[in-house]
Homo-oligomer: A and B are copies of this chain.
């Protein structure tokens, strides 16, 4: 995060300061909607951007790309998103990225695979502001990128410019950024509770153990055998143990929160029989005499003014069902039976706060809309 700062013109508040004022519910009715492109609209994060943007008063979807499905009406790929079109602006058909007319496009959500992304973004007109949902600009250190993603970074200069957009911690930088690297789902769920605890010295940088559970949509919309209904339903398994690419991203954020001393984490993701939702259960070592109540109090204070982050009272457990479809994050803190330890649980919807919702939250900040605009939907349960 540290090295990924934006230009910071015009005296914004400190980047980690909480939101100071109640967010406006919507852009003023006289504002012109921003003209927005969604690159890679045929995947799940792309379609989720479209879902949320449909009812966002400040966004006008002017281009949707999907190279392999170019020419199709969007309704052929996602029939559910065309249903509201009678009374609303119709969705444009899918086009190839190369065929987008960028004149008059104000901003783009980039929902493309890593590596491809670097080249596409490098080719965009400089006036287009970008929220990138891929991993390509999240790691400030391009060597780390090369190590974990299997090849050199193709746009290191852009990387320097990119702002890591965990909105709650980077508002000021996001506001003035041209390119925001939208955080990964696991890193979002982990950093929201752990960054403040590390910043305040309440937990140790040593021995942070993260047991994570993710819905299947996190793997994207691709026809893979291991993602079939028959292979997923009614079971659970760990995957990518010790090798998941979100590890360096989490470590980057936690290290910065700890003042720069390198943090190594234990991180074990599990594939869950559910389409969306993410729960991280973090096992941490207390420091400086703190106990679980102190951690909860610190988080409560830190996020008191945040519209999307909620600290549960003692004894209450975060459920992924309680945030489904929404941009919210709920966090619970528990004492551990082993003295000197605590357990911190955090739940988000991996497709919303873990991807497309946070992307819209970031664009809201970039464009000066109220930060919650288009994200007011309540979670859907049951």
Contact = CB atoms under 8 A, between A and B. Distances in A.
Interface of A: 22-23, 25, 29, 44, 47, 50-51, 54-55, 78-81, 83-84, 86-88, 207, 209, 211, 213, 215-217, 221-225, 227-239, 241-242, 247, 264-268, 270, 272-277, 279, 281, 283, 305-307, 310, 312, 316-326, 328, 330, 332, 334-339, 341, 343, 345, 347, 372, 376-382
A319 B377 contact: no
A236 B337 contact: no
Nearest to A78: B381
Given A266-B337, A336-B242, A79 B211 contact: no
A382 B350 CA distance: 12
Contact of A87 (B25, B87, B322, B380): B25
A252 to B, nearest CB: 14
Contacts of A87: 22-23, 25, 307, 372, 376
B223 A224 contact: yes
A283 B209 contact: yes
A341 B266 contact: yes
Contact of A233 (B233, B238, B316): B233
Given A80-B323, A235-B321, A337-B266, A223 B223 contact: yes
B376 A377 contact: no
Contacts of A281: 211, 238, 268, 270
A213 B216 contact: no
A319 B274 contact: no
A312 B339 CA distance: 33
* Copies of this chain: 4
A346 to B, nearest CB: 11
A320 B215 CA distance: 16
B236 A234 contact: no
Nearest to A328: B83
A382 B307 CA distance: 25
A268 to B, nearest CB: 6
Contact of A377 (B55, B239, B273, B276): B55
A213 B79 CA distance: 21
Given A87-B25, A334-B242, A338-B207, A382 B231 contact: yes
A54 B307 contact: no
Given A79-B319, A229-B216, A337-B267, A235 B54 contact: no
B380 A266 contact: no
Nearest to A228: B227
A275 B231 CA distance: 8
Contacts of A325: 325, 380
Contact of A241 (B23, B317, B319): B317
A343 B268 contact: yes
Contacts of A336: 242, 266
